[in-house]
Amino acid sequence: MAFQLDPKIPSGPLEEKWTKHRFDMKLVNPANKRKFRIIVIGSGLAGGAAAASLGELGYNVDCFCFQDSSRRAHSIAAQGGINAAKNYPNDGDSIWRLFYDTIKGGDYRAREANVYRLAEVSNNIIDQCVAQGVPFAREYGGLLDNRSFGGAQVSRTFYARGQTGQQLLLGAYQSLQRQVARGSVTMHVRSEMLDVVVVDGHARGIIVRNLITGEITRHAGDAVLICSGGYGNVFYLSTNAMGSNVTAAMRAHKRGAGFANPCFTQIHPTCIPVSSEHQSKLTLMSESLRNDGRVWVPKKAGDNRAPNDIPEDERDYYLERRYPSFGNLVPRDVASRAAKERCDAGFGVGATKLAVYLDFKDAIERLGEDVIRARYGNLFQMYEKITAENPYKVPMRIFPAVHYTMGGLWVDYNLMTTVPGLFALGEANFSDHGANRLGASALMQGLADGYFVAPYTVGDYLARHGSLQAKDKVKTDHPAFDEAEKGVRDRLQKLMSIQGKQSVDSFHKKLGLLLWNHCGMGRTREGLEKALSEIPRLREEFWQDVRIPGEANEFNPELEKAGRVAEFFDFAETMCLDALNREESCGGHFREEHQTEEGEALRHDDEFAYAAVWEYKGEGQKPDLSKEKLEFENVKLTTRSYK
């Protein structure tokens, strides 16, 4: 049975929807808020902000993270900034323009109403963060500084040196710790959610493994919020943290939550290239570098000269050549594909030939080394630490890497999944970025969902469906908890009992490489079919031959990783199936069969202007596809052109 997908978009003009909806939502009386318990999974910008805000309102909150502190979620690694439609520079920005840019940047595969709300609350986020003490960059007059970022033609990005994500997360973390001290939030660190408990169709709790002791515990709640980030680590090599995983979202999916657009993955154009097979992760170099750096490769394929020995007229500044009006500032998906195209054609540089140059020579000549140092000093230092090359003297070598995932759990306008009482916030949901996310918009969405959307919509759900009386509430001795806990224990037991020969990482690397080759920057029917036939074989081998040392009832990082890789296997199939189904190219999803004569992405709006929502049917079973048709009432669908 397919899902009945009701996005619950409020009626009325776009700019009045959220205001109207806030009035239409039911409220929970202040004295009743403490009768509800809300479970939040993840403590990054979405989870941390939601847990803190719900605690402030007077709800009881249990927040879970696998890290040793809620301050360490991977939101912390975002470098570049956060967008808002403040229009402080007076350069023509507006809520409408931020909305429009986000819809267009997402290649018309996001829901208008959600995106407009995101743009609308973006300004509140900046106010909130400043009030919390986030030290955004400022002008000498004491006012906030803005920069242009990621292909935007206005300066709407607020930043805190190259550590914007860190500073925003610390703001949310501090608010969260304040609530922990007040007793409204209980923080469970080094705890991994391993299943959702659904009772009478509503999410009513979770099963958790304590990562230090291995103890399995049950937690009941009136609502469950999944704020566990994206699934980029399915590729093994990505800019995500080592622990980032899809387990919480996948468990929710297996309990009935639809998974939308899993094939929409963002490959970030400016990362440090892979150096060897021992590489464990990839490091991003902020997109802001493209404001001053020029991307090029040699005009001659296989040119082995050192970059500084290649004269100006033998260099191909291919982004400036192909996209004269945006040049080096084209959006991420376009820049990544262009780099791949050059490398595939044999023009790549460096030892692996899988890299292009990002050159600051002209900017240093124009502005001086000091200005470049002030702008990008920490990034240049990081690059030098990793590669042992000095980017002030030698052009950086960069290559695209998996960075962000636009797909995620399907949610309605209230951020609720297809399971009532189960919400998804931030990167874990699918709602705002369509097929491609613009730079500095991830932080905006995480905080918008956490501070300004979920506190209202979760309250509305509780007011309508929550039980005020203790006797009506689902308790942890309910049979559904027995069943879920048994499933978790059986799965852990099964993993521990295999005692095969190959390590967890070796499987993760094989899966990652398979997906990178067939479901990465360029996808074909043939490649995806190959991946879909390989994944079950590799999964079978995993379940036969993985070796996990130690015990289940102790601190066991190999067991943690094995559980996550097992979920990645199941997820990978749905991702490839989605990529196969989407017979068009849009944003981060590039099907080589669907391109223009110039090699640009070719959308098929008449057939594919929908969110593809998958329903889990069991391991090895083909998931069911439902479609949420995307209605565009306020923007006209055009071909994105950055020429």
Partner 1 sequence: MKITLHVWRQKNATSKGGMETYVVDGVSADMSFLEMLDMLNEQLIAEGKEPIAFDHDCREGICGTCSLMINGVAHGPDSGTTTCQLHMRSFQDGDAIHIEPWRSRAFPVIRDLVVDRSAFDRIIQAGGFISINAGGAQDANNLPIPKPDSDAAMDAAACIGCGACVASCPNGSAMLFVAAKIGHLAHLPQGQPERAMRARNMVAQMDAEGFGACSNHYECEAVCPKEIPVKFIAKMNRDFMKASLCSES
Task: State the nearest-atom distance from the C-beta of 243 to partner 1, in Å.
Answer: 5
Is residue 134 within 8 Å of 160, Cβ to Cβ? yes
Nearest by Cα to 457 from 418, 507, 412, 427: 412
Q: For the segment 389-448, give every residue that binds partner 1 (CB under 8 A).
A: none
Q: Per rule CB under 8 A, is residue 90 in the interface with partner 1?
A: no
Q: Per rule CB under 8 A, is residue 332 in the interface with partner 1?
A: no
Task: State the nearest-atom distance from the C-beta of 506 to partner 1, in Å.
Answer: 8
Task: State the nearest-atom distance from the C-beta of 242 to partner 1, in Å.
Answer: 6
- Per-residue buried b or exposed e for 75-94, using 16+ beta carbons within 10 Å of the residue's own CB: bbbbbbbbbbbbbbeeeebe
* 257 CB-contact burial (10 Å; exposed 0-12 / middle 13-18 / buried 19+): buried
Q: Per rule CB under 8 A, is residue 451 in the interface with partner 1?
A: yes
Q: Per rule CB under 8 A, is residue 181 in the interface with partner 1?
A: yes
Cα separation, 538 vs 546, whole angstroms: 11
Q: For the segment 183-242, give every residue that binds partner 1 (CB under 8 A).
A: 187, 189, 212, 239, 241-242
Cα separation, 439 vs 269, whole angstroms: 11
Q: Among 174, 467, 476, 634, which residue interacts with partner 1 (rule: CB under 8 A)?
A: 174
Is residue 318 within 8 Å of 342, Cβ to Cβ? yes
CB atoms within 10 A of CB 182: 10
Cα separation, 137 vs 155, whole angstroms: 14
Strands 37-41 and 223-226: parallel
List of residues 6+ apart from 365 with CB closer than 8 A: none
277 vs 472, beta carbon nearer partner 1: 277
List of residues 6+ apart from 183 with CB closer than 8 A: none
Q: Per rule CB under 8 A, is residue 519 in the interface with partner 1?
A: no
Is residue 38 within 8 Å of 68, Cβ to Cβ? no
Q: Per rule CB under 8 A, is residue 61 in the interface with partner 1?
A: no
Q: Per rule CB under 8 A, is residue 479 in the interface with partner 1?
A: no
347 vs 383, beta carbon nearer partner 1: 383
- 171 φ, ψ to 5°? -60, -45
162 vs 623, beta carbon nearer partner 1: 162
242 vs 345, beta carbon nearer partner 1: 242
| Region from 325-333, 411-419, 549-557, 565-573 binding partner 1, contact rule CB under 8 A | 549-557
Q: Per rule CB under 8 A, is residue 553 in the interface with partner 1?
A: no
Cα separation, 388 vs 397, whole angstroms: 12
Q: Per rule CB under 8 A, is residue 96 in the interface with partner 1?
A: no
Q: Among 302, 346, 557, 599, which residue interacts with partner 1 (rule: CB under 8 A)?
A: 557
| Region from 416-424, 498-506, 519-527, 566-574 binding partner 1, contact rule CB under 8 A | 498-506
164 vs 626, beta carbon nearer partner 1: 164
Task: State the nearest-atom distance from the C-beta of 543 to partner 1, in Å.
Answer: 17
175 vs 585, beta carbon nearer partner 1: 175
Q: Among 404, 452, 542, 568, which residue interacts with partner 1 (rule: CB under 8 A)?
A: 452
Task: Give me the residues paired with residue 155 across strands.
Answer: 148
Q: Per rule CB under 8 A, is residue 541 in the interface with partner 1?
A: no
| Region from 148-156, 158-166, 335-343, 562-570 binding partner 1, contact rule CB under 8 A | 158-166
Structure tokens at 331: 């959006």
DSSP reduced 3-state for 305:
coil
Q: For the segment 103-142, give every residue that binds partner 1 (CB under 8 A).
A: 124, 126-133, 135-142
Q: For the segment 566-625, give every residue that binds partner 1 (CB under 8 A).
A: none
Is residue 380 within 8 Å of 392, Cβ to Cβ? yes
- 490 φ, ψ to 5°? -60, -40
Is residue 427 within 8 Å of 407, Cβ to Cβ? no
Q: Among 23, 90, 278, 469, which residue interacts with partner 1 (rule: CB under 8 A)?
A: 278
Task: State the nearest-atom distance from the C-beta of 128 to partner 1, in Å.
Answer: 5
Q: Per rule CB under 8 A, is residue 306 in the interface with partner 1?
A: no
Task: State the nearest-atom distance from the C-beta of 161 to partner 1, in Å.
Answer: 6
Q: Among 503, 517, 524, 595, which residue interacts with partner 1 (rule: CB under 8 A)?
A: 503
Size of the site for partner 1 (CB under 8 A): 81
Q: Among 32, 88, 491, 498, which residue interacts with partner 1 (rule: CB under 8 A)?
A: 88
| Region from 305-313, 382-390, 433-441, 519-527 binding partner 1, contact rule CB under 8 A | 382-390
Q: Per rule CB under 8 A, is residue 148 in the interface with partner 1?
A: no
Choose the catalytic residue: 332, 342, 375, 591.
332
Query: At which residue do the structure tokens 């991003």 appear?
Result: 284
Strands 408-409 and 396-405: unpaired
| Region from 216-224, 484-492, 501-509, 524-532 binding partner 1, contact rule CB under 8 A | 501-509
178 vs 491, beta carbon nearer partner 1: 178
Amino acid 381 reads Q
Is residue 448 within 8 Å of 126, Cβ to Cβ? no
Is residue 144 within 8 Å of 126, Cβ to Cβ? yes
Q: Among 21, 33, 37, 72, which residue interacts with partner 1 (rule: CB under 8 A)?
A: 72
Is 332 one of the annotated active-site residues of the chain? yes
DSSP reduced 3-state for 618:
coil
140 vs 311, beta carbon nearer partner 1: 140
126 vs 335, beta carbon nearer partner 1: 126
Q: Among 51, 170, 363, 577, which residue interacts with partner 1 (rule: CB under 8 A)?
A: 170
List of residues 6+ apart from 155 with CB closer than 8 A: 89, 91, 93, 146, 147, 148
Q: Per rule CB under 8 A, is residue 552 in the interface with partner 1?
A: no
52 vs 495, beta carbon nearer partner 1: 52
Q: Per rule CB under 8 A, is residue 361 in the interface with partner 1?
A: no
Q: Among 95, 103, 382, 575, which residue interacts with partner 1 (rule: CB under 8 A)?
A: 382
List of residues 6+ apart from 615 with CB closer than 8 A: 2, 3, 256, 258, 418, 623, 624, 625, 626
List of residues 6+ apart from 202 with CB closer than 8 A: 419, 420, 421, 422, 465
Cα separation, 220 vs 7, whole angstroms: 27
CB atoms within 10 A of CB 633: 9
Task: State the nearest-atom distance from the C-beta of 536 to partner 1, in Å.
Answer: 25
Cα separation, 127 vs 136, whole angstroms: 11
Query: Is the dihedral angle over the CA atoms 45, 46, 51, 53 positive or is it negative?
Result: positive
What separation in angstroms does the CA of 599 have from each of 150, 438, 511, 583, 637?
21, 21, 28, 16, 20
| Region from 148-156, 274-282, 419-427, 435-443 binding partner 1, contact rule CB under 8 A | 274-282
Q: For the segment 232-251, give every residue that binds partner 1 (CB under 8 A).
A: 239, 241-243
Q: For the segment 10-49, give every residue that binds partner 1 (CB under 8 A).
A: 49
Task: State the nearest-atom distance from the C-beta of 604 to partner 1, in Å.
Answer: 38
Residues marked as catalytic: 332
